[in-house]
Amino acid sequence: MALKLFDLKGKIALVTGATHGLGQAMAIGLGRAGATLVINGASSQAKLDNAIAEYKALDLNAYGYLFDVTDEVSVIKNIKRIEHEIGDIDILVNNAGIIKRTPLEDMDVSDFEQVIKVDLVSPFIMSKHVVKGMIKRKKGKIINICSMMSELGRDTVGAYAAAKGGLKMLTRNMATEWGKYNIQVNGIGPGYFATSQTAPVRVGGHPFNEFIIDRTPAGRWGEPEDLQGAAIFLSTKASDFVNGQIIYVDGGILATIGKPSNE
């Protein structure tokens, strides 16, 4: 019985921005739990094809769709294609996102708006059109990938923090409006993870590497696979009475005010 709570066999999961990095890691976790994967990418067909090949090399059932999650017309078109070609979408993971590291006083308005559009508006667009089918079926799971920056500020990431803070509240409002349809909407807030993007600051004695390790009670950077448990939990029956919550997968950073004691 316990294992069935975390079983995704027969479920279809659409994960945006899952051609690499944390999105890919979460999608792999859902696939290993039995879900059929629908992977979205936006940069190039070649990159999407390569990612699908990687999923299939792991014996996962995966399909790729190339479209811009900020383009509502394209989103509507591709959701209809997915539902026709693959089936009803049971799980939506709004993972696609960008960050631009610029001091606010130097940031162009166009750059600020782009971050908001990708990180906050696109989850609204995707959820708005996927949830229509979920409402008809009276069931569904939506996971918004938030961030520790949903709770904290930091130099040069003002636009990103604003978007992720907004996404936290959007998650709670989605849960409020759609809970009556047996739809659960929750968020995952990753901490600092060892990815290709963070590789430059994790080598060569970089001070930021030491700062993160000292600041994290777990004493390490997260590995992408560390997100899989939360993603599976929020996608399965195990979380049927969990709604409007943000699960922070951060090694304990948000739980502490400073460097953990060595005593």
Q: What is the pLDDT of residue 3?
A: 76
Q: What is the pLDDT of residue 262?
A: 61
Q: What is the pLDDT of residues 80-136, one digit of tens each?
A: 999 999 999 999 999 999 999 999 999 999 999 999 999 999 999 999 999 999 999
Q: What is the pLDDT of residue 260?
A: 60
> Domains (ranges, CATH) in the chain?
3-194+227-255 (3.40.50.720)
Q: Count the neighbouring beta carbons within 10 Å of the beta carbon of residue 172.
A: 17
Q: 65, 160, 192, 248: which one is catalytic?
A: 160
| Cα 149 from chain centre | 14
Check residues 154 and 228 and name the one with the higher pLDDT.
228
160 is catalytic: yes
Distance in angstroms (rounded) separating the CA atoms of residues 238 and 228? 14
Distance in angstroms (rounded) separating the CA atoms of residues 100 and 123? 18
On whether the pTM is more than 0.85, the answer is yes
Largest CA distance in the chain: 59
Distance in angstroms (rounded) separating the CA atoms of residues 164 and 178? 21
